[in-house]
Amino acid sequence: MRIEAIGGNFAHEVKDFPLWEPVADADAAAIRDVFRECGVLVFRRQALSEGELLTFGKMIGEPDLYAETGWLSTYPEVIILSNMRGQDGEMLGGLANKPLTWHTDQSYYTTPVTGCFLYGVELPEEGGSTSWASLYRSYETLSPELAKAVDGAIGTFSFAARVGTNLKQGDNHDRAKRLAETPDVKHPLVNIEPGTGRKALYIDPNTVTGIDGMPQDEADDLLDRLLAHATQPAHVYDHDWGPGDLVLWDNAVVLHKRDGFSEKYNRLVKRMIINLDPSRHIIPPVAA
Ligand SMILES: O=C(O)CCC(=O)C(=O)O
């Protein structure tokens, strides 16, 4: 096994490592260590059953269940993202072919499940790439002025803002229930990794609606500047998917986005969320 930074980027690739074979404890520990430091790990050209995906998830942390009950696959921990329909005409999974702008998952929960991976099964010829931006690098390269503005700042993270509160006719009961069950939550905009003391920015465009004690126009301006800084090319890894690629990331220390793709192509990826060890990873805390 070799673990290398991809093109000098923050993301790393684990090479020559078939995940369908039993993983030695020392290799598993090395993988967890690099993942903890860099936040995005790539394994290319794997051929994994859902049972093997679950075994991989358990090597990283504790796989968890999704709120989106309509996107489930065979194993309850595995969901499908796809624009394809099954033989019954129903969508096979979620998110279809639309572009997804920069975001981080579950920031609107009091205790986000931060580990996540995608496993590519069928990919479009064009489009559908996924990108990740390092929030460690972003914090470490902030100008003194931005660092001063963000250190100690508390943001409001809103599920309602993220999904839109206007329920339309045809929206299912699950969506109304989730909106009712998910009030706004406050998290610090800078979090500290418990083991190393390293700091990471924590922002989520379209979800952070304000900053405590700051007028709305100033907060909006600060959030825009932080996003522009965080997503500049030097902080971003773009993944051009091939079948069998597995990309693991930590939502507490990276943002991600996806390019849209034409409806004429099929795309199917499998996804799992994983609780990471809170003594070794940032779990965004609730701010008072
Ligand atoms: O489909 C992708 O590549 C990314 C999906 C995504 O952004 C998400 O599931 O949060």
pLDDT of residue 8: 80
Which residues are CB-neighbours of 79 under 8 A, at least 6 positions away?
66, 68, 71, 72, 73, 93, 94, 270, 271, 272
Ligand 1 atom 8 nearest Cα: 105
pLDDT digits (tens, 9 = 90+) for 113-156: 999 999 999 999 999 999 999 999 999 999 999 999 999 999 99
CA of 93 to the centre of ligand 1 (A): 12
Predicted confidence (pLDDT) at residue 172 exceeds the cutoff of 70: no
CA of 258 to the centre of ligand 1 (A): 6
CA of 257 to the centre of ligand 1 (A): 7
Q: Which fold has domain 2-275?
A: Double-stranded beta-helix (3.60.130)
Return mean pLDDT, the chain. Answer: 94
CA of 218 to the centre of ligand 1 (A): 30
**Ligand 1 atom having least distance to the Cα of 256:** 7
Does residue 212 contact residue 187 with C-beta atoms inside 8 Å?
no
CA distance 44 to 103: 24
Residue in this structure with the two tokens 């709305």, named with its chain if needed: 216
Between vectors from CA 215 to CA 228 and to CA 180, what angle results, nearest 5°?
85
Mutate-to-test residue for ligand 1 from 95, 103, 116, highest number of ligand atoms within 8 A of CB: 95
Report CA-CA distances (Å) from 102 to 9, 61, 89, 205. Answer: 18, 25, 31, 7
CA distance 102 to 227: 9
pLDDT digits (tens, 9 = 90+) for 15-68: 999 999 999 999 999 999 999 999 999 999 999 999 999 999 999 999 999 767
Ligand 1 atom 10 nearest Cα: 105
Does residue 278 contact residue 193 with C-beta atoms inside 8 Å?
no
pLDDT of residue 161: 94
Structure tokens at 202: 């924590």
Mutate-to-test residue for ligand 1 from 40, 42, 81, 119, highest number of ligand atoms within 8 A of CB: 81
CA of 117 to the centre of ligand 1 (A): 9
pLDDT of residue 165: 60
CA distance 219 to 242: 40
3-state secondary structure of 82: strand
Mutate-to-test residue for ligand 1 from 204, 256, 268, 272, highest number of ligand atoms within 8 A of CB: 256
CA distance 105 to 257: 11
pLDDT digits (tens, 9 = 90+) for 65-124: 976 777 778 889 999 999 999 888 888 888 889 999 999 999 999 999 999 999 999 999
Residue 72 carries which DSSP code? Answer: B
**Ligand 1 atom having least distance to the Cα of 257:** 7
pLDDT of residue 173: 64
Ligand 1 contacts (CB < 6 A) are: 81, 95, 100, 105, 118, 130, 256, 258, 269, 271
Residue 91 carries which DSSP code? Answer: B
CA of 234 to the centre of ligand 1 (A): 21
What residue ranges do the domains of the chain occupy? 2-275
Structure tokens at 46: 């794997």
pLDDT-derived band at 166 (thresholds 50, 70, 90) equals: low
Residue 15's DSSP bridge partners are 2
3-state secondary structure of 103: strand
Of the candidates 70, 84, 132, the one whose C-alpha atom is nearest the C-alpha of residue 258 is 132
CA of 26 to the centre of ligand 1 (A): 30
